[in-house]
Homo-oligomer: A and B are copies of this chain.
Amino acid sequence: MPLLSLTGVFAPVLTPVDANLDIDLPLYVEFCRWLLQTGCHGLVLFGTNSEATSFSVAERMAALDAVLEAGIPAHKLVIGNGTPAISDGVVLARHALATGCHGVMTLPPFYYPKVSDEGLFRAFAYIIERTGDPALKVYFYHIPQVSGIPLSADLLDRLASAFPAVATGVKDSSGDPENLRRFQQVAASHAGFSLFCGTESLLLANMRGGGAGCISGMANVIPDQIRVLFERWQDADAEARQVQLNWLRNAAAGTGFNVIAAAKALTAARTGAPGWARVRPPLVELTPAQQQVLQAAVAVAEPVLA
């Protein structure tokens, strides 16, 4: 049964590539299964940690098709359709709907800097109106430190008012607790508008503020541990759990390595498939020496009790 509104722990699924830098579909399907078995309520295919923008529309659609053909339930999937060209966003949204996916996660068009809220509203409106299906659910994606294009609370409020039941929520990957609070006010003003934090380190703060969960790159590595905090965020020891949960993010940040390359290197180590460490240009994979440094940092930091 499709969910009316998402809630829980979601991974922006890492995208494995083969030696030709094409998506390694068998490895991808296997990884999606592992994530759902290990703690994720659902998956975001083609978020930032997925290197989404490094893959064409055709590559993204083929990867989604492979995942669905392998039996992964479509209603647990949100498809990243963020592209600089709004026409591409429509193509991806229609494909997501046609294949029964829950919805899409949409970046603002991200080439021109300093675009106005009016221009962003028109861009999102174009995607929603051209997709032309009241079943569409759009989660807007705020990650200004990467995209360069912030989404203001005013813009989200306008979108939620203009497109009720379609403008379904927002992912806040700014990592800024103040911004999360501003977005919580937007979510509180619109029934069914869900707020996800983009880092598990704000999961407790988000749940206490009425949020719906998190969509975090670290859910590619420790989905089980993040799931536990999600299940127990109302327990008396939730704050201690939150502090403990941050160990992996802190250990990875301490190495200074690119976080996507690091998550892939850790997945390579876990699965014993060295190809997992590959990334698509312009990112660069960790060297074997860097992978060792990372694994050592993680081994030291990992708590005995999850």
Which A residues contact B (CB, under 8 angstroms)?
A: 21, 53-57, 59, 83-88, 91, 108-113, 115-116, 118-120, 122-123, 125-126, 145-149, 280-284
| Set B53, B109, B145: member contacting A54, Cβ < 8 A | B109
B111-A85 in contact (CB<8A): no
Given A54-B84, A85-B53: A113 and B21 interface contact (C-beta under 8 Å) = no
Contact B85 A282 (CB under 8 A): no
Give this chain's copy count.
2
From B56, B87, B109, B126, A85 is in contact (CB under 8 Å) with B56
Indicate if the CB atoms of B57 and A113 lie closer than 8 Å.
Answer: no
Question: In the complex where A110-B111, A112-B146, A148-B113 touch, is A86 in contact with B119 (Cβ < 8 A)?
Answer: no
- The answer to whether A115 and B282 touch (CB under 8 A), given A126-B21, A148-B148, is yes
Query: Once bound together, how far apart are the Cα atoms of A148 and B109, in whole Å?
Result: 14
What's the least CB distance linking A129 to chain B, in Å? 11
Residues on the B chain within 8 Å of A111, using CB? 53-54, 110, 146-147
The answer to whether B112 touches A284 (Cβ under 8 A) is no
A260 to chain B, nearest CB (A): 8
30 contacts between A and B (CB under 8 A): A21-B126, A53-B85, A53-B109, A54-B84, A54-B85, A54-B109, A54-B111, A55-B85, A56-B57, A56-B83, A56-B85, A56-B87, A56-B91, A57-B57, A59-B87, A83-B84, A86-B280, A108-B282, A109-B282, A110-B111, A111-B146, A111-B147, A112-B146, A112-B282, A113-B148, A115-B284, A116-B284, A120-B282, A122-B281, A149-B282
> Which of chain B's residues have a CB closer than 8 A to the CB of A110?
110-111
Chain B residues in 8 Å Cβ range of A284? 115-116, 118-119, 122
Q: How far is the CB of A263 from chain B (nearest CB, A)?
A: 14
| Bound Cα distance A56, B154 (Å) | 29
- Going nearest first, the 10 A-B pairs with the smallest beta carbon separation are A123-B281, A119-B282, A122-B281, A53-B84, A53-B111, A115-B282, A119-B284, A56-B85, A56-B87, A123-B282
Cβ–Cβ < 8 Å partners of A56 in chain B: 57, 83, 85, 87-88, 91
Q: Return chain B residues, CB-CB under 8 Å to A125.
A: 281
Cα–Cα distance between A112 and B55 once the two chains are bound (Å): 13
Minimum distance in angstroms from A57 CB to a CB of chain B: 7
Assembled-state Cα–Cα distance A179/B123 (Å): 34
CA separation between A248 and B112, bound complex, in Å? 22
Interfacial chain B residues near A108, Cβ < 8 Å: 282
The answer to whether A281 and B86 touch across the interface, beta carbons within 8 angstroms, is: yes
For A126, list chain B residues within 8 Å (CB). 21, 281
Residues of the B chain whose Cβ atoms lie less than 8 Å from the Cβ of A113 = 145-146, 148
